[in-house]
Structure 1
Amino acid sequence: MSSPCYISGLGLHLPRTAMTNADLERMVDTSDEWIVTRTGITNRYFAQGDEPCSVLAFNAARKALDNAGLAPQDLTHIFVGTFSGDYNLPTTACLLQDMLGLKGLPAFDLAAACSGFLYCLETARAFTCLHPEARILVVGSEVCTSRVNFEDRTTCVLFGDGAGAAIVTGAANPGPVKVLDAMLKADGSVGGLLTIHGGGSACKPVLGQPVGPEYFVQMNGRDVFKYAVRCMAEVSETVLERNGLTADDVDLIIPHQANIRIIEAIAKKLDVGMDKVYVNVDRIGNTSAASIPIALTEAVATGRIQPGMKVLLSSFGGGFTWASALLQF
């Protein structure tokens, strides 16, 4: 039996520049009708040069700390889920630590693509078992647009930038939200369906050579769709079953905000109405690891989540990775 784990505060931050479908029409061969029909997205946010991944993470982190009534000095660990960090080295978590005026506490990035936040949440849950006094800053922060090819209209319209953060605490510092359960999954055999190869040791940059499409998101959308729906539904059902629940017992489902078709297909698989599913992909787009914490923070702030509710989170990302978590408010 695991020790209790809690979420004591939440925060989100979006870049200052909103990008509508009309804006994208001026950048790439697309149209509002084409984007909305296939993705449900009408708006997203693009980070500018002075808004790298660490800056988005810092702003979300400060809001989460304020929400929890804590100061940066109260933290014991920093975990950042991202595929679009400021640099390969130093890690975004180390940059964030310095921005918060801290030294010494463990800080690392975790790469699980769009499942990054839930992977970090489960890692934090494990740490609080060992350290019940822990106060862990868990952040999902992405500048997806730094890895998007704006000549590929099938992918560039999907993504936006942003960050969401949570303060995760152990039994010594219980918070208002209890993490009841979580499950992580992965399958590297199909990782080639969603890739960013350029810059890795198997696809090394060569001084003086131009940057090619391999440095940006490349995706087999049809196959990714099928895997995403099946995997997210299955892991969600498994988490519910081992807690003696069904989807009917959950008050709200927050899936990764990939696109509206995937979200609707997951609802159908779980046999729930869309009134039970939180959607903000239309306003924010796919923000990868930031997707779940942004949506969770919004749902609490707007009153969509009330005390006493059970909330199911589910995500899917490149790797492939997928995950689910069950929260009790």
Structure 2
Amino acid sequence: MSGNTVYINATSAYFPNEPVSNDEMEAYLGYIDNKPSKSKKIVLRNNGITNRYYALTKGGKPTHTNAQMTASAVKELFKDDPDKIKEIDLLSCGTSSPDQMMPSHGVMTHGWMPEIGPVEVVSPSGVCCAGMHALKYAYLAIKTGDVTKAVATGSERFSGLLVSDVFEEEAQKLKELNENPYIAFQKDFLRWMLSDGASAFLMSDKPNAEGISLRIDWIEGVSFANEMETCMYMGAEKQPDGTLKGFMDFTPEEVMTKSIFSVKQDIGLLSDNIVPLGGQKIKEIFERKGLTADDIDHFLPHISSDFFRSKIYDLIQIYGGGIPYEKWFINLYTVGNVGAASIYLMINELFNSGRLKKGEKLLLLVPESSRFSYMYAMLTVV
């Protein structure tokens, strides 16, 4: 596709409050049935996370909305010249945890930044791929010449779903958990995996005059919902035939007693499919574009847990010739799994690290287990 070349000119991140260590988590999220979790240590051992952030006080009181955090990340892009925020033509905000169902997350974020003025706003939904969809919308809008400057964001505020008073007490399957780490992705266990934060990119059709920019070479995605049933869901209950029964079809009492608004995953589906399906598209992209692993200088895979790192490594070995770990960049361990924001947070940290050299190529991989969607992109440092 011809058109304007698109660049990421600046990146930012916003984390609420102070980092929370593994030992402090239940001080923020609370105890289920007033007992310390028996599964927490096992889940944390598998996911490798040592710090994360919550938009909560100790005791579980909210401190920020998703929209407030996202607006703070956007404003951070313009900290050296706040007036330049008025030059934005488009605000594209991806999340899987909006503060409400209506209005959209994007317009609520815009509402915290009246100084921008009236602009186009779009709010891709979904799960981890939502941030990449926001990025692609902004990329295409600039590429077609429809806008000149855009901001794309990824953000999450999961902590409101993780506090103990929204959870029903569930048996801790410790023996099963030890034998099958995939069990760590079920409802209660997601408490030890998800965290809050926001990140933003300033994008335009021109590279920075000084310093580096990231040229977006391509962004591609694929969904396997045509052949796969739902794996990760919220606001619904999975039925025996694999379909979802949405929250509108439950009574208010059922919504509460069945914890309809907690996040859940179908572990069997996840373990059998999340990595192999992602590899199918990588293989096709590499072959179509004539790419090999040698062409990649930095590999940024969004992983929800360190458990998946070796699985993805083996897959790339099969499909792409192998990308050695020294080319990988993952900050899951220090910022947590921030869903749609995770790929932004990785890019932000690497962009501002001083490590990038002009001409280097970054391969992005973002899987989404909800109904098995994947996004991929290639960026070049210029």
TM-score (norm 1): 0.89
Structure 2, unmatched stretches of 5+, are 57-61, 168-186, 238-243, 317-321
Pick from 118, 136, 158: which aligns with 2:150? 136
* Corresponding residue of 2:309: 263
* Corresponding residue of 2:371: 319
Cα distance, 1:182–1:56 mapped onto 2, change above 3 Å: same
How many angstroms does 1:69 deviate by? 8.6
Tell me, yes or no, if the aligned pair for 1:197 and 1:214 is still in contact at 8 Å: yes
Cα distance, 1:59–1:239 mapped onto 2, change above 3 Å: farther
Tell me, yes or no, if the aligned pair for 1:17 and 1:47 is still in contact at 8 Å: no
How many angstroms does 1:115 deviate by? 0.8
How many angstroms does 1:269 deviate by? 1.5
The two structures, once aligned, show a CA RMSD in angstroms of: 2.6
How many angstroms does 1:218 deviate by? 0.4
Q: Deviations over 1:201-228 (max 9, x none)?
A: 9322655666232211101235324433
Inter-partner Cα distance in structure 1 for 2:153 and 2:233: 22
Inter-partner Cα distance in structure 2 for 1:104 and 1:71: 14
Aligned residue pairs: how many?
327
Inter-partner Cα distance in structure 2 for 1:38 and 1:140: 25
Pick which of 32-41 and 197-206 moved more.
197-206
Inter-partner Cα distance in structure 2 for 1:15 and 1:185: 32
* Corresponding residue of 1:20: 21
Cα distance, 1:323–1:259 mapped onto 2, change above 3 Å: same
* Corresponding residue of 2:42: 34
How many angstroms does 1:77 deviate by? 0.6
3-state DSSP of counterpart to 2:299: strand
How many angstroms does 1:191 deviate by? 4.5
Tell me, yes or no, if the aligned pair for 1:113 and 1:321 is still in contact at 8 Å: no
3-state DSSP of counterpart to 2:19: strand
Equivalent positions of 1:184-223 (< 5 A) are 184-188=221-225, 189-198=227-236, 202-204=246-248, 206-207=251-252, 211=256, 212-223=258-269
* Corresponding residue of 1:85: 98
Equivalent positions of 1:56-135 (< 5 A) are 56-66=69-79, 71-101=84-114, 102-131=116-145, 133-135=147-149
Equivalent positions of 1:220-299 (< 5 A) are 220-270=266-316, 271-299=322-350
How many angstroms does 1:113 deviate by? 0.7
Inter-partner Cα distance in structure 1 for 2:221 and 2:295: 22
What amino acid maps onto 1:241 in structure 2? E
Q: Deviations over 1:246-299 (max 9, x none)?
A: 122101111113111213321222122222111211112211100000111011
Tell me, yes or no, if the aligned pair for 2:106 and 2:123 is still in contact at 8 Å: yes
Q: Deviations over 1:171-190 (max 9, x none)?
A: xx345211001111112253
Cα distance, 1:239–1:68 mapped onto 2, change above 3 Å: farther
Matched, 1:182 2:208: no
Inter-partner Cα distance in structure 1 for 2:126 and 2:81: 26
What amino acid maps onto 1:314 in structure 2? L
3-state DSSP of counterpart to 1:181: strand
Cα distance, 1:31–1:306 mapped onto 2, change above 3 Å: farther
Inter-partner Cα distance in structure 1 for 2:347 and 2:365: 11
How many angstroms does 1:148 deviate by? 3.7
Q: State the identity %.
A: 20
How many angstroms does 1:325 deviate by? 0.3
| Greater C-alpha Rg | 2
Tell me, yes or no, if the aligned pair for 1:137 and 1:166 is still in contact at 8 Å: yes
Q: Deviations over 1:228-258 (max 9, x none)?
A: 3223333334334333221221011111131
Inter-partner Cα distance in structure 2 for 1:65 and 1:191: 42
Inter-partner Cα distance in structure 2 for 1:74 and 1:160: 31
Pick from 147, 150, 153: which aligns with 2:161? 147
Pick which of 105-114 and 118-127 moved more.
118-127
* Corresponding residue of 1:310: 361
Inter-partner Cα distance in structure 1 for 2:83 and 2:268: 44
3-state DSSP of counterpart to 1:314: strand
How many angstroms does 1:145 deviate by? 2.1
3-state DSSP of counterpart to 1:165: strand
* Corresponding residue of 2:380: 328
Tell me, yes or no, if the aligned pair for 2:51 and 2:333 is still in contact at 8 Å: yes
TM-score (norm 2): 0.78
Pick from 157, 175, 192: which aligns with 1:157? 192
* Corresponding residue of 1:2: 2
